[in-house]
């Protein structure tokens, strides 16, 4: 008999083994073994990935048995959960009913049950069914990640109930176990004790006693086979030979062996005889049907594998280099063996060195095989994809992004400047000293899209700024009041290089985190370093109006205090140039004092260049400046024009003191900052002015592939110019429905540039695809795109790591990933684009020649008309002076007048025919130069 209150036998008691014949103990032993085997099987499935040994008799098996017993005692059931697993069915059934209706078991010491939501599972990569399963339930989580989650989400985090236990845990990693059967009432439980973790990861393994092994597996006894008549059925299916075998002999003459085969051609119908089947009624074959049965059963094999799990550890090895004395080195170098070795391998070394100098072994040959036509691709992969977006609700929301600049050396770091969206009248109305928010520059990183990495304070709104390309820790910015500001971020360079924002500062301890309240903890996590400026220029010697553009000069382009370029300048990167609405271009030198702090409030420009109209009637309002630079490489362009300085020595004559400037009047002016001594002091520095924009020019960008090609943007159109060509723009876009704001050339494709508009769209122009309109137009934001900055990060190929930073008027920075067809240049694209620009230059020359010819032709026609009028007046005077013989004088006079007029008409027809011949000759020469004549005409 079995009773629910019967004592549970002990595994170590010899009376409870399989050999005991007592009937009263049999049900209890069977139920206990059944319950223990169930618990062991569940844990073995969970610990299979970690290599835990759960064989019968081990300490882990005994622990599971004790836990099962304690679980049954807590629920009020003294026996196992099995329904009908042995005798005493009523008692067993009562036990199973109690097991199914009882609540979850109490967790042992060191185990903390937790319920993790789907968001937390995705955050820590413990998704049920993917990262953790019932077979592999264990996941190691770093303690730092859990602490970061506690500090970020506080009481709403799933790990908050175990906060104190997590802080007290001495290890660096937690063991998170997936509870598929909700053993402790939750879907996961966390090991907050090292003993509990070691019990699961490294259980003590013991050998199985021989009695238990004999009890588990018993050898099968052999029995004598008894025939029941099945062999007769098998013998009936045997194939018995009931006739003699036929012997066939195949032979061949010996002379035919090895003979050459002769093949010939013939028609398929020759030698072909069709034999169609037919039924012969006189011949019939009766077939005997045989009933056969086949059964295929796969062979079952039982196997078990036990693998030991080893925890990864960090190791360090310290070894000393092999050192030899000078006597040993001399002996080796003077030995015959080293001489023979050098003579043996010298030829191969020379061949390898020659090969390395001739052939580029790192070149990808597959990219040189051919280029597909990527400009005609269609689909979502041909458009700009938004990679990330940055906005700060406190500092940048509802403010206009006036400038964007990428960090020259650190990947994924970009800075923006934000200004108030107010017009000049609104600023005057609110007052000079009115500031609703601080003027800041925010430095963002791809690794933290929520909080800026660094904030730079400024005295006024920063309209433009730029990193120093040779010393990225120095940032120069231009304010709306005309002052220049300098920042030094060298102390925060290591922070910008980190790939992940830490959850807390390095100096904080566990006690400090535990003592912080929820508000203080949140402020500590989201705290961003704020940096004050190092130096600001003197307000008296600065610009009289807002600064619109600022650029660092190239390293080898060092200017003297008179504006002349030094022959061996090496400190050009310490000088910068600024433009302002006051109509002046100013050059600044950071070496004005010994250090940056000494420049504060005393810094002044060493050269000023006022730009006024060519007739000195008014001063221009400058918006952008473009200085010609030297490309660092002939084959490729740099990522940013500010970084295109040549690394080698550059001759000073390669630089020029002439530059382009865009104005608010819509004019593109070409000027020289070096004034001629012989000229008057108040003479204008402007050499040419082009009025093609019907509105203020907002941007001016020079091509990174062609130093003499510029892109101007303003009003409702954009234009492409060439330095030295005064006939007009090479390419002009059609007027658009919205205002165009910014334009940038592609750093990897010579024929691609981007245009931002006030309606929040970006136009992509590909000159190889079409030149009369944009290749694609894509909507990026609901507000105007105020600034564009393109960045190409170096990599194995040019088809990756190109981004566009687009800032809008709402204070949001959009990071766009450029697709492959807009980054990978086609074969000979640079030559094609250069030929396109040259053809446009010749077209402008042809149009200018036609205009000059038409002007001369019009003057000739006017002269002929004047001569005809004078002749007609002289004729009338002659007629009035003749005697009044009205009857006979009239007709001769008429005839004479007609001949005179006729003579003049014949002369004009000859000149017109001659002019037409000259025009046809000029047109033929132009078509022949462009290669547009048909073969017959040439």
Q: Where are the domains of the chain?
A: 111-200, 698-872
Q: What is the pLDDT of residue 681?
A: 54
Judged against a pLDDT cut of 90, whether residue 405 lies above it is answered with yes
pLDDT of residue 11: 40
In degrees and rounded to multiples of 5, residue 574 shows phi and psi of -95, 0
> Using one digit for the tens of pLDDT, what is the confidence trace for 500-532?
544 444 434 344 434 334 444 444 445 688 999
> Of 798, 790, 791, which is closest to residue 756 (Cα–Cα)?
790
Alpha-carbon distance values, 99 to 27, 30, 83, 233 (Å): 17, 17, 11, 54
pLDDT at 904 over 60: no
d(CA 236, CA 762) in angstroms, rounded, equals 87
Closest residue by Cα to residue 767 from 833, 705, 702 = 833
Q: Specify the long-range contacts of residues 254-263, CB closer than 8 Å, at least 24 apart.
A: none
Alpha-helical regions (H) of 84-236: 89-101, 118-124, 143-153, 163-168, 194-201, 210-216, 230-236
Q: How far is CA 921 from CA 643, 860, 927, 928, in A?
A: 49, 20, 10, 11
Distance CA 810, CA 400 (A): 6
**For 366, phi and psi rounded to 5 degrees?**
-70, -30
SS3 853: helix
Q: Are the CB atoms for 817 and 385 separated by under 8 Å?
A: yes
pLDDT of residue 226: 83
Phi first, then psi: give them for residue 397, nearest 5 degrees. Answer: -65, 140
Q: What is the pLDDT of residues 18-40, one digit of tens each?
A: 333 333 333 333 343 334 334 33
Within 8 A by CB and 6+ apart from 471, the residues are: 573
Residues whose CB is less than 8 angstroms from the CB of residue 92 and which lie 6 or more positions away in sequence, other chains included: 2, 27, 31, 79, 80, 82, 83, 84, 85, 86
**For residues 283 and 53, what is the distance between their CA atoms, to the nearest angstrom?**
76
Separation between Cα atoms, residue 510 and residue 501, nearest integer Å: 18
**Which architecture characterizes domain 698-872 according to CATH?**
7 Propeller (2.130)
Which carries the bigger pLDDT value, residue 795 or residue 624? 624
- Rounded to two decimals, the pTM is 0.54
Q: Answer with the residue of higher pLDDT: 896 or 437.
A: 437
Phi-psi region of 855 (alpha: psi -120 to 50; beta: other; left: phi over 0): alpha
- Asked whether 139 and 131 are in contact (CB, 8 A), the reply is yes
90 or 772: which carries more pLDDT confidence?
A: 772
Distance of CA 771 to the CA centre of its chain: 28
Reported as a single tens digit per residue, the pLDDT across 648-662 is 344 444 567 889 999
Residue 414 has pLDDT above 90, yes or no: yes
Alpha-carbon gap, residue 555 to 470, rounded angstroms? 8
Mean pLDDT of the chain: 75
Contact, 702 vs 631, CB < 8 A? no
Tell me, what's the pLDDT at 335?
Answer: 92
Q: CA 547 to CA 316: how far, in whole Å? A: 56
Structure tokens at 793: 């990060």
C-alpha closest to that of 702 among 763, 768, 631, 761: 631
The stretch 149-163 carries a mean pLDDT of 85
- What local confidence, expressed as pLDDT, does residue 678 receive? 41
Q: What is the rounded CA–CA span in Å between residue 407 and residue 468?
A: 9
**43 in Cβ contact with 53 (< 8 Å):** no
Helix (H) or strand (E) holding 697, with range, is strand 697-702
CA neighbor of 605 nearest in space, from 616, 592, 619: 592
**Which of 180-189, 307-316, 571-580, 928-937 has the weakest average pLDDT?**
928-937
Q: What is the mean pLDDT of residues 48-60?
A: 40
Residue found under tokens 């931002």? 756
Is pLDDT of 91 > 50? no
- What spatial distance separates the first Cα and last Cα of the chain, rounded to whole Å? 119
Q: Rounded to whole angstroms, what are the CA distances from 59 to 47, 56, 62, 206?
A: 15, 9, 5, 7
The residue-averaged pLDDT of 366-370 equals 63
pLDDT over 90 for what percent of the chain? 21
pLDDT at 897: 40
Q: Distances from the Cα of 336 to the Cαs of 128, 326, 341, 346, in angstroms? A: 70, 18, 9, 15
Contact 806, 756 (CB under 8 A): yes
Tell me, rounded to whole angstroms, the distance of Cα 145 from its chain centroid.
26
Edge-to-edge strand list for the sheet holding 111-114: 111-114, 188-191, 173-178, 138-142
Q: What is the pLDDT of residue 505?
A: 40
- pLDDT tier at 832, thresholds 50, 70, 90: very high
Question: Which pLDDT value is given to residue 745?
Answer: 94
Distance of CA 268 to the CA centre of its chain: 65
Helices and strands of the chain, counted as H and E runs: 18, 33
- Name, in order, each residue with C-beta under 8 angstroms of 3's C-beta and a sequence gap of 6 or more: 88, 91
Q: What is the pLDDT of residues 191-226, one digit of tens each?
A: 888 888 888 887 766 655 555 544 555 677 778 888
Asked if the model's pLDDT at residue 850 lies above 90, the reply is no
Look at residue 647 and tell me whether its pLDDT is greater than 80. Answer: no
Residue 367: phi, psi to the nearest 5? -75, -20
In this structure, the strands spanning 752-757 and 761-766 are: antiparallel
As a whole-number percent, the residues of the chain with pLDDT over 70 amount to 73
> What does the pLDDT look like over 743-763, one tens digit per residue?
999 999 999 999 999 999 999
**Residue bearing tokens 């030995």:** 335
> Which range has the worst mean pLDDT, 217-226, 610-619, 632-641?
632-641
Pairing of strands 529-531, 454-458: parallel
> Is residue 436 over pLDDT 80?
no
Average pLDDT on 63-72 reads 42
List Cα–Cα distances, 848 to 55, 457, 853, in angstroms: 97, 53, 9
500-505 contacts, C-beta under 8 A, 24 or more apart: 500/447, 500/448, 501/445, 501/447, 501/448, 501/451, 501/453, 502/148, 503/144, 503/147, 503/148, 503/151, 503/152, 504/147, 504/148, 504/151
Instruction: Render the burial of 241-267: b for 16+ CB within 10 Å, e for the rest.
Output: eeeeeeeeeeeeeeeeeeeeeeeeeee
HSE toward the beta carbon, residue 873, CA cutoff 13 A: 6
Burial degree of 9 (CB within 10 A; 0-12, 13-18, 19+): middle
Out of 335-344, 553-562, 675-684, which region has the weakest mean confidence (pLDDT)?
675-684
Q: What is the model's pLDDT at position 160?
A: 87
* In contact, 49 and 131? CB cutoff 8 Å: no
Q: For residues 115 and 159, what is the distance between their CA atoms, to the nearest angstrom? A: 9
Q: pLDDT-derived band of residue 273, with 50, 70 and 90 as boundaries?
A: confident
Count CA atoms within 13 Å of residue 715 on its CB side: 22
């Amino acid at each position: 008999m079995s009773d629910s209150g019967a004592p549970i036998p002990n595994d170590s008691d010899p009376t409870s083994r399989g050999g005991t014949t007592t009937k009263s103990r049999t049900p209890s032993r069977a139920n206990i073994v059944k319950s223990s085997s169930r618990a062991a099987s569940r844990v073995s499935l969970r610990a299979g990935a970690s290599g835990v040994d759960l064989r019968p008799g081990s300490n882990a098996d005994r622990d599971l048995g004790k836990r099962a017993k304690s679980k049954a005692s807590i629920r009020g059931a003294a026996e196992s959960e099995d329904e009908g697993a042995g005798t005493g069915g009523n008692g067993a059934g009562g036990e199973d009913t109690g097991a199914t209706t009882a609540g979850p078991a109490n967790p042992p010491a060191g185990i903390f049950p937790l319920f993790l939501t789907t968001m937390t599972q995705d955050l820590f990569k413990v998704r049920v069914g993917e990262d953790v399963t019932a077979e592999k339930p264990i996941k190691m989580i770093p303690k730092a990640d859990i602490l970061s989650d506690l500090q970020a989400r506080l009481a709403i985090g799933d790990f908050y109930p175990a906060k104190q236990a997590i802080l007290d845990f001495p290890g660096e990693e937690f063991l998170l176990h997936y509870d598929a059967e909700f053993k402790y009432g939750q879907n996961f439980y966390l090991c907050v004790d090292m003993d509990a973790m070691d019990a699961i990861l490294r259980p003590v393994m013991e050998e199985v006693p021989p009695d238990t092994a004999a009890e588990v597996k018993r050898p099968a006894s052999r029995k004598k086979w008894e025939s029941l008549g099945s062999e007769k059925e098998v013998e009936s299916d045997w194939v018995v030979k009931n006739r003699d075998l036929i012997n066939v002999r195949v032979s061949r003459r010996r002379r035919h062996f090895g003979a050459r085969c002769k093949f010939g051609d013939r028609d398929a119908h020759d030698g072909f005889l069709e034999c169609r089947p037919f039924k012969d009624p006189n011949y019939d074959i009766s077939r005997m049907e045989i009933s056969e049965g086949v059964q295929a059963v796969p062979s079952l094999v039982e196997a078990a594998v036990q693998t030991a799990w080893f925890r990864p550890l960090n190791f360090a090895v310290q070894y000393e280099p092999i050192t030899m004395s000078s006597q040993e080195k001399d002996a080796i170098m003077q030995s015959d063996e080293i001489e023979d070795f050098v003579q043996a391998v010298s030829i191969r070394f020379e061949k390898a060195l020659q090969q390395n100098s001739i052939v580029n072994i790192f070149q990808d040959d597959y990219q040189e095989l051919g280029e597909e036509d990527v400009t005609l691709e269609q689909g979502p992969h041909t458009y700009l994809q938004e990679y990330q977006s940055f906005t700060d609700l406190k500092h940048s929301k509802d403010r206009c992004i006036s400038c964007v600049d990428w960090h020259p050396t650190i990947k994924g770091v970009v800075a923006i400047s934000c200004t108030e969206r107010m017009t000049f009248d609104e600023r005057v109305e609110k007052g000079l000293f009115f500031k609703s928010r601080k003027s800041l520059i925010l430095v963002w990183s791809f690794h933290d899209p929520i909080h800026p990495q660094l904030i730079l304070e400024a005295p006024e709104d920063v309209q433009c700024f730029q990193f120093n390309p040779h010393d990225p820790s120095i940032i120069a910015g231009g304010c709306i009041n005309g002052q220049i500001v300098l920042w030094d971020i060298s102390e925060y360079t290591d922070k910008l290089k980190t790939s992940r924002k830490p959850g807390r500062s390095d100096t904080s301890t566990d006690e400090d985190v535990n003592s912080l309240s929820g508000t203080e903890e949140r402020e500590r996590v989201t705290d961003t370093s704020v940096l004050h400026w190092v130096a600001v220029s003197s307000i008296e010697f600065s610009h009289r109006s807002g600064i619109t553009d600022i650029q660092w000069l190239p390293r080898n382009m060092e200017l003297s205090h008179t504006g002349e370029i030094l022959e061996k300048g090496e400190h050009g990167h310490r000088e910068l140039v600024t433009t302002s609405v006051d109509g002046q271009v100013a050059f600044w030198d950071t070496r004005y004092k010994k250090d940056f702090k000494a420049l504060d409030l005393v810094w002044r420009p060493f050269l000023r260049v006022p730009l006024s109209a060519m007739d000195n009637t008014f001063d221009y309002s400058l918006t952008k400046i473009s200085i010609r630079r030297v490309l660092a490489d002939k084959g490729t362009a740099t990522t940013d024009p500010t970084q295109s300085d040549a690394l080698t020595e550059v001759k000073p004559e390669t630089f020029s003191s002439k530059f382009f400037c865009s104005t608010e009047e819509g004019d593109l002016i070409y000027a020289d900052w070096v004034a001629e001594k012989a000229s008057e002091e108040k003479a204008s520095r402007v050499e040419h002015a082009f009025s093609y924009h019907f509105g203020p020019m907002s941007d001016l960008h020079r091509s990174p592939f062609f130093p003499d090609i510029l892109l101007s943007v303003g009003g409702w159109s954009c234009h492409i110019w060439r330095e030295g060509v005064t006939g007009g723009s090479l390419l002009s876009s059609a007027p658009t429905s919205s205002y165009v704001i910014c334009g940038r050339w592609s750093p990897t494709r010579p024929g691609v540039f981007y245009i931002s508009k006030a309606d929040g769209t970006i136009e992509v122009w590909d000159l190889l695809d079409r030149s009369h309109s944009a290749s694609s137009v894509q909507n990026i934001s609901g507000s105007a795109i105020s600034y564009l900055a393109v960045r190409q990060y170096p990599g194995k190929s040019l088809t990756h790591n190109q981004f566009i930073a687009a800032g809008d008027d709402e204070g949001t920075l959009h990071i766009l990933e450029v697709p492959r067809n807009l980054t990978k240049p086609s074969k000979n694209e640079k030559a094609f684009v250069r030929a396109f620009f040259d053809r446009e230059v010749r077209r402008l020359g042809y149009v200018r020649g036609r205009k000059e010819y038409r002007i001369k032709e019009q003057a000739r026609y006017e002269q002929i008309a004047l001569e005809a009028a004078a002749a007609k007046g002289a004729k009338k005077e002659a007629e009035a002076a003749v005697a009044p013989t009205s009857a006979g004088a009239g007709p001769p006079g008429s005839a004479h007048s007609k001949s005179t007029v006729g003579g003049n008409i014949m002369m004009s027809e000859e000149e017109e025919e001659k002019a037409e011949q000259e025009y046809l000759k000029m047109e033929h020469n132009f078509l022949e130069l462009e290669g547009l004549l048909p073969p017959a005409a040439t």
